[in-house]
Structure 1
Amino acid sequence: HHTPPAHQASPVHRPPVQHGPPPAPPGPPVGRPAAPAGPPPPPPVRSWRGGKKARPVAPPPGRQAPAGYVPVPVRKRRRWPWVLLLTLACCCGCPAYYGMPMASQYPAAASLPQQVADLRLREDPRNAQAAQQLETQTRAAHWLAEDTFAGIYTTNTGKRVTVFGGTGFRFAPSSDADGEIERLTEQYALSDVQVVESGVRGRHERCAVGRSEGTGVVVCTSVDHGSITTGVFTDLSVDDSARLLATLREQIVTKKS
């Protein structure tokens, strides 16, 4: 046998060069099926505050309920009855609330009684002429009124009360009460206008202090949806004048049947 020299290196074995496509990657082990690819996760839902609202997590596939478990369906709350009740309340309650004073105060009729409390109607020629002139002015100021009235009452102690007004429908009694005081401001030099609580829904009253022929007077007006009644009082305070006007209008103005 021939021994090669020591400086001669042994040949290097290189892997054979393969031609063609690379081998496929190894597949899953035999006996275990590959897990199916599920749908992509849904995007997060943002709440009205700007944060992320977590979605309910679905149970993993293949999970079974325990023995004896019976699923109970979740009943959704129905909100439509509350919406329906609210709609009915708005449609029926509001017109009834605002329409009841109108129905109870209009139409109205007016007539001057001969006596109210300790007041007596003066029908002598001088006072009758003054009352007629006052009624004419009232008709000119309230030309939409269905009827007008005016009268002068006095007491045995010398107190004098002049009352006038008219009947007819009034949509805004509060504005009409302010307008009546404004109309009489120059004639009676009115000042210190006060709002008086009538205690009746839909009825608005105003009182002011003034002068007539050098005498101090209090002018009060009471307006509702069916009538306006104004009184000029002498030798009375504002509170007493307001109370006496309420008594007068209860006797003068009545609701038509």
Structure 2
Amino acid sequence: MKRVIHQINEENHYFTCIIDNKEEAYYLTKAQARKFFDYLDQGYIVDFELYNKRKIIDRRYAWQVAYFTSIERPGYRVNKMLYDLTNIRQQMKNILSGFGYLLFLDLEMTMPPYYKGPFEAEVIQAGYLLRSPHGEVIKSGSMYIKPTKYKKISPRTEKFLKLDPTYYDFAVDYHIFYDHLRDIMEMYDPKIIVWGKNDMLALKASYVINEVEPLIHPSAFVNLLQIHKTYYNLSDDLGLFKAYEIYYKETYHQTHDALDDANVTLLVYEALLKEMKGA
């Protein structure tokens, strides 16, 4: 619905419009307010959708904004488009379609023990699939990694990741994982596709723990979760396996295995790209 903003209240995160000679109020979540209130002002033209949800603000009912489609600032001859969801989606499609090599990466980390005390998570499994610019998976792998700071992983971690004593027989030192990742980066220079921030933060922390130079610049990472939130106007985080179920209409039983999770990330990426190209 396209409306002209009548009044705006930044303190309580809502704005009003005149509808059929009556002032109606619409409110934003805190996250939406941080993102959009700099674009909103009296007289601006907004196109937005609503949730079927309202609450009382300043002694009046206000409907919750689901998302904005466009925000325009009136001009003398031509309105200036401040926010255009259709254009943003097109740009996202162009960027994702234009990538070269892609490395779908998933990391599993140690978990703190049940008792309290100092703890720092370490990478103990890495799974990846390397996808060529033509869409074929040309390399894949999985390796268990020995923790550096805490030589023995907690029973909590063993239980969650379903690790048995053979883990210590197959796990490699961190520097072997580091060298392997470095070789891939130097040979293919891929974009790194991850779901959320955790893997990026864990990899960054691993450099410090193991006293090595960072391998990957932050700009090389592509946060597929954030792309979904922007493309579909999601206020809350979306789980990777929930995204898979939405796209593929079937349940996926998570195993907490890094290679398996990396594969699901690839499948979700391909489904999103297909959705973008069909829009």
TM-score tier (shorter): under 0.3
Provide TM-score, normalisation by structure 1. 0.22
Greater share of strand? 2
